[in-house]
Structure 1
Amino acid sequence: MIANPSVSSQKPIKLDANAAAGRSEELAGILVDAVAGGTSVNFLWPFGLPDARRYWDRVIARIGAGEILLLAIESGGRLVGTVQLIPAPQPNQDHRVDISKLLVLRSARQQGIATVLMQAVEAEARRLGRSLLVLDTETGSAADRLYRRLGYQVLGIMPRHARLPGGELADTTFFFKHLPDASQ
């Protein structure tokens, strides 16, 4: 376990495409750790570093294109958690963002990192003038409990929506949160 009680008080960093590319091995390691731990983040086991590298290459290209913002938190000079903010590109949804891939290394969990990342992603959404946050996660998971604790509202639960890394079907809870919108 990464024993650093100050991690949760650290400020997340925004990684542009160049910074993310320079840390792609760390990013890949975080993703592999999540999948190996059974986290439902779109991938099935077996899943290794080559798969994770390909995923992050696509994300980094989208960061470079301005389609995704990537926030991360470090401990001991290495990345231990990430979250993505994806502004909706549609003109009639310029108030909305999707939150994706909140990932924290298993060895760094229970230190408040996910909460800090979610608070940072909400601040980024506000900075962008976005007031509606949308996300989904495996029903009953630690992430499900986190989002509820942070004030996200349940839109609904879709039974047997996605496969867990081991292949079994699981329910997915869809959440939203309205941030104060100064433009209205």
Structure 2
Amino acid sequence: MRFVLDPEMTPELFEELLSCWAEVTNAGGAVGFVPPVTPEDIRPTADRAFARTRAAAGPQAPDSLLVGFGDDGAPGAWLILGDNGSGLRAHWRWLLRVQVHPKHQGKGYGRALLLAADDAARSLGLEALQLTCRGGTGVDRFYASVGYQEVGRVPRSIRVTPGDDRDEIYMLKWL
């Protein structure tokens, strides 16, 4: 996997990322939606998310997009390094929409993506990365395996479906 920070957001790349997002969601990934979804269901959120990235809006945009391209040239993993909107917190970013295409699951691409995010953050002069994840998925153990520590938890704050409330887990990694 070849990682690129802030690649040019072509219409083709946008559609590939959108398709990946839908496929990750439909495979059970906790990336902001509940399956089943189509790319059209996600498009309004994707439009807003990508509009904040340097890849789409230029060097003055607050967020950065990190994309891992597979041997076939298609995006296989991606995330957003999201600005937190505060000068007092300019030394860290949020990791948003962290995802690996289902066809690449189990190949170590998730770990590679997070290590590439560490490198990207350091290249931006950052000192830490923070993320949230959905409780009950086990993904918090994965994040812990690459150096993230749980720093907080909000019980039952994510409602997947009526009667299925999950904790939102806050995790932090100092670089």
**Contact kept? 2:32, 2:97, Cα under 8 Å:** no
Inter-partner Cα distance in structure 1 for 2:115 and 2:128: 14
Go from structure 1 to structure 2 and tell me whether the alpha carbon gap of 1:109 and 1:156 turns closer, same or farther (over 3 Å shift): same
Cα shift at 1:70:
0.9
TM-score (norm 2): 0.86
Question: Counterpart in 2 of 1:182?
Answer: none
1:19-66 Cα shifts (integer Å, max 9, x gaps): 354311111111111221222222234421112222222222111151
Question: Counterpart in 2 of 1:11?
Answer: 2
> 4+ residue runs of structure 1 moved beyond 3 angstroms?
none
Matched, 1:33 2:23: yes
**Structure 2 gap segments, 5+ residues each:** none
Q: Percent identity?
A: 25
1:118-176 Cα shifts (integer Å, max 9, x gaps): 11111111111111211011224243122100111111222212133x55321221101
**Structure 1 gap segments, 5+ residues each:** 1-9, 180-184
- Equivalenced residue count is 168
1:73-110 Cα shifts (integer Å, max 9, x gaps): 12222111111101333111111211111111112101
For the aligned residue pairs, the C-alpha RMSD in angstroms reads 1.9
Question: Counterpart in 2 of 1:52?
Answer: 42
Question: Counterpart in 2 of 1:112?
Answer: 108
Q: 1:66 aligns with which of 61, 69, 78?
A: 61
Question: Counterpart in 2 of 1:149?
Answer: 145
**Contact kept? 2:2, 2:68, Cα under 8 Å:** yes
What amino acid sits opposite 2:61 in the alignment? Answer: G
Go from structure 1 to structure 2 and tell me whether the alpha carbon gap of 1:20 and 1:132 turns closer, same or farther (over 3 Å shift): farther
3-state secondary structure, aligned to 2:158: strand
Go from structure 1 to structure 2 and tell me whether the alpha carbon gap of 1:20 and 1:139 turns closer, same or farther (over 3 Å shift): farther
Inter-partner Cα distance in structure 2 for 1:77 and 1:156: 38
TM-score (norm 1): 0.82
